[in-house]
Chain A
Amino acid sequence: MNAPARVLIVAHGHPELCAGGGEVAAWNQHRALNACDDFTSVFLARHDDPARLHGGTPFSGTGRANEILFHATMPDWFRFSQPDSALVWRDFRDALDTVRPDIVHFHHYVHLGLELIREVKNCNPDTPVLLTLHEYFAMCHNHGQMMKRHEDVPCERATAMDCSRCFPEHSPQDFALREGFIKSHLDLVDRFIAPSRFLAGRYVDWGIDASRIEVIENLLPPQEIHTGTSRANGAARERDDAPLRFGFFGQINHFKGVELLLEAACLLPGSMRQRCRFDIHGSGLERQSRGLRERVRAHADELGDRVRLHGSYRPADIGAMMGGTDWMVMPSRWWENSPVVILEARRAGLPVLAADIGGMAEKIDDGVTGLHFRVNDAASLAGRLREAIEGGEPMRHAFAQRMAATGDGQADLERHLDLHRAFADGRAGTAGITALRPAA
């Protein structure tokens, strides 16, 4: 390859303006590609703050030469269809004409509209389109979480009939139409990237051909931007008799299960509680339902000085915070796909107590790099906490070393670059879109 290939990364948000796992993964991808000589990447992120809007265009800048803010809203969370079609055929087309990408890599279609994928092919059927899958939005109308809406249990499979049971306001026919519409756009994608085998499996079950999905982990930001020193390679703690520190990292909401962790902590006998501490890092409690807030408060009161609610944190500080933690707890009630905090924990050499489903179970080997507990089961989690406390420092140290040995993401980066290279120099063909080519 002579000239670097141009990649356009399309994301549903800019992490500096609206933090979320998918947005961060997209931005990291953009920066990783730009750091490689074979690529130049342009980051197009959806945004909706009118203060940054110019007149007569939905585009504005962030001040960086290769970043674009795209002011779009997409209220159709059923079909993910962009209601303002001119945003697609006039404005997004204009961006494509200007960037002239060799590859377009979507990190989402929510907030933007599935039609953007089609517009890439309308513009040039030979431009490869990649799509990184972040949740289960395409198949699940319940915020893409694959959770039963009313029973609050993980859902195994999306079918028109079952989905209509969750959402009686939409008939099974509506769901069948929805699936067909979404697939008509996803059919144009040349390669899907799933950050976990579990997530890929779900999409295969849903009807995406397995050969079109690559399983590659999301990327972390380059290490040097982290503040503080993380305790890499599972270095031992300074004092063995200090209380064992369990950390929770993430949004505080129902799905992330922080309440379950506190409940499990309350189940520990008093003597054992004295030998550990719980640090909750993350914000969002004030936005939760009153019931959840009260339960979290009640548990926190009961645990007294054993629990600390630290509030929100800057993403760059996570390494330092993990350095001050002995075990991470991941009590999510939903499947997760590939949690960023687990990647961070790998880099920090931090063992994880994780629920035994989905992406968490896949990324954490039970008894090797962490311990599994039954999802949604405080007693099971309490049992595992107990094991960890009783195992003390020797057990933690062994787990931490194995966790640190799982890699720092360099191999994942190489695989991402290889995939993009394959599409850039045409080794991986764009298939299955003959319908969009003009007749010869």
Chain B
Amino acid sequence: MSQRTRPGRRLLHVLRRRIGEKRLARYRRRTVALGTRLATRAIRLRRRLARRPALRLERAVRLDDTSGVRVVHGTLDPDGHGFRTLEAIARDGTARDLAAALHRWPATPRPLGASNLCERFAVRLDVGDENGLRLVDRGGRSCTRRLPTASAGDPFARIRALLEPLHRVAGKRALHERVLGPAIERVMASRTPDRSASASAWNAELASATPGTTLIIPIHGRDDFIEHQLARFANDAELLGQDILYVIDDPRLHARVHASAERLARLYRVPFRTLYLARNLGYAGANNVGADHARGRYLLLLNSDVMPIDPGWLGRLHASAGERLDDALIGARLLYEDGTVQHDGMRFFRSPFHEGLWLNLHPGKGLPEALFDTSSAALPREAVTGACLLIARHRWEQLGGLDERYVIGDFEDSDLCLKARAAGMQVLLCPSARLFHLERQSQALEGGGGWREELTWYNGWRHAGRWHDALSAIETGRVTAGTRARAPDTARARA
């Protein structure tokens, strides 16, 4: 409007006198509306003429150097014509449609200048010599981008770099199904870590020649729990006849653990061994290597932050299964320091917060122990935690131990339980074997956020994929039995 300039004002003044205030206002409105319309048309026309698809790569992670599997994510904008394909371009120029390995989701907020067809995407590339991505729109126009090559660090660091930025993606399940799951699975499968280990024996003169049970206790990050455990083991005559094996899965701790073992062996007259792994193998790997070095007829997987409450627990754990001992996998009742239950068996749960993904629930967690069954016989459960778990060694070998393809300690225990069930074994919980569990914060299943939550998605996806039929059968059995999943066959005595 020229209203602010002098000539404009004069003109307005004249017009106002000639045609009147009301009509003048109407004319002005119409003029402005017409101008806006014309300008909008012009902009649209210009866009239409210049319309091209756009492809922007934000991150390309090469997950390992042997398989060459890569995950790329960024934004694609087919502009006005719509999305047709995203293709991988090989060095020789051949193109391959990536539809089966692509996940797209709405770009909110939309990047500056993007059309309303703009989307975010993540895509998996399996073939090593593919070095470009091409977006093709419905009009046949395309946009090609070369893939960056470098990615450094160990596989876990790369997986973390991959997962962290994808924290808030819509449709997580599809993302893992098409893109992330197969990629990470392939990396985990192609790993061939160094499994060498060296062992030291302490108080060997006290050790039994034929120990009943090998306690496999992985140590990672913190080693002060060893002293707490030994102090309690030393007061339990039953533990003296066993084979206590600390698996030091953390090369940074080797020297320190070795030095403190010298001291602890003199203070606590318990025979125990320390097994130093050359590389960090993770929870499953550490237990598996520990089992390879075991001497007992039975294996007890034990977390270092699980502390016996009173003597006799190991005997009760064995006795509770009775005849079934060699055909069962037996867990213990674990308690928090405030007297509430941390673990009394696990239950499979189709989580509505994870798009129906199967997760493991701990029924009764946080409730006072006095409310739970007391029984010297073991009770059936859907699964039990690996924090304290007894199994015959020949059974363990038959099942192949823990699956090492889950990432960083999650679901390996329920996977073992499902393997055992498939092999016709029973999964039991012994309520009279009671131990404290400090439950490290790193074990957060839900919440905790960031890449741990993403890992739960990956591990849960793998777990559910392997065991979908078995899990569905358990759920069906639960419904038809019409009883509670936990302790379905025990009538609770009203105390």
Contacts and interface: CB of A to CB of B under 8 A. Distances in A.
A97 B338 CA distance: 21
B338 A55 contact: no
B353 A86 contact: yes
- Chain B interface SS verdict (over half): loop
A68 B368 contact: yes
Interface in B206-225: none
Contacts of A42: 368, 371
B383 to A, nearest CB: 15
B405 to A, nearest CB: 24
A56 B446 contact: yes
Contacts of B368: 42, 61, 64-68
Nearest to B442: A55
Interface stretch (B293-301, B359-367, B391-399, B464-472): B359-367
B451 interface: no
B367 A98 contact: yes
Interface string A60-75: 1111111110000000
A3 B495 CA distance: 8
B348 interface: no
A229 B3 CA distance: 90
Given A55-B441, A56-B365, A68-B368, A61 B484 contact: no
B340 A59 contact: yes
A57 B343 CA distance: 11
Contacts of B338: 52, 60-63
Contact of B362 (A56, A61, A65, A68): A56
A390 B481 CA distance: 77
B445 A65 contact: no
A61 B371 CA distance: 12
Contacts of A6: 494
B251 interface: no
A386 interface: no
A366 B445 CA distance: 62
Contacts of A311: none
Contacts of A56: 362, 365, 444-446
A65 B372 CA distance: 11
Contacts of A273: none
Contacts of B364: 94, 97-98
Contacts of B369: 65
Interface in B318-343: 336, 338-340, 342
- Chain A interface SS verdict (over half): mixed
Nearest to A62: B338
A355 B362 CA distance: 53
B486 interface: yes
B340 A60 contact: yes
A61 B336 contact: yes
A59 B366 contact: yes
A423 to B, nearest CB: 16
A60 B366 contact: yes
Contact of A95 (B353, B367, B444, B445): B367
Nearest to B443: A55
Interface residues of A, number: 29
Interface string B65-107: 0000000000000000000000000000000000000000000
A219 to B, nearest CB: 23
Nearest to A99: B371
Nearest to A44: B367
Contacts of A243: none
Interface string B473-495: 00000000000101000001011
Contact of B492 (A57, A86, A100): A100
A58 B494 contact: no
A332 interface: no
A48 to B, nearest CB: 14
A3 B486 CA distance: 23
Interface in A171-198: none
A358 B376 CA distance: 57
Contacts of B340: 54, 59-61, 68
B494 A59 contact: no
Interface in A91-124: 94-95, 97-100
B78 to A, nearest CB: 39
Contact of B339 (A4, A55, A65, A100): A65
Contacts of A65: 339, 368-370
Contacts of B352: 86
B444 A97 contact: no
A346 B366 CA distance: 40
A40 interface: yes
B365 A97 contact: no
B492 A58 contact: no
B439 interface: yes
Interface in B444-473: 444-446
Contacts of A68: 340, 366-368
Contacts of B444: 55-56
B366 A58 contact: yes
B372 A98 contact: yes
11 contacts: A6-B494, A55-B443, A55-B445, A56-B444, A59-B366, A61-B340, A65-B370, A66-B368, A94-B363, A95-B367, A98-B367
Q: Which 7 A-B pairs have the closest CB atoms?
A: A59-B366, A65-B370, A57-B366, A57-B365, A61-B340, A61-B338, A3-B494
Given A54-B439, A90-B361, A99-B371, 5 more contacts: A40-B495, A56-B445, A64-B339, A68-B368, A86-B353
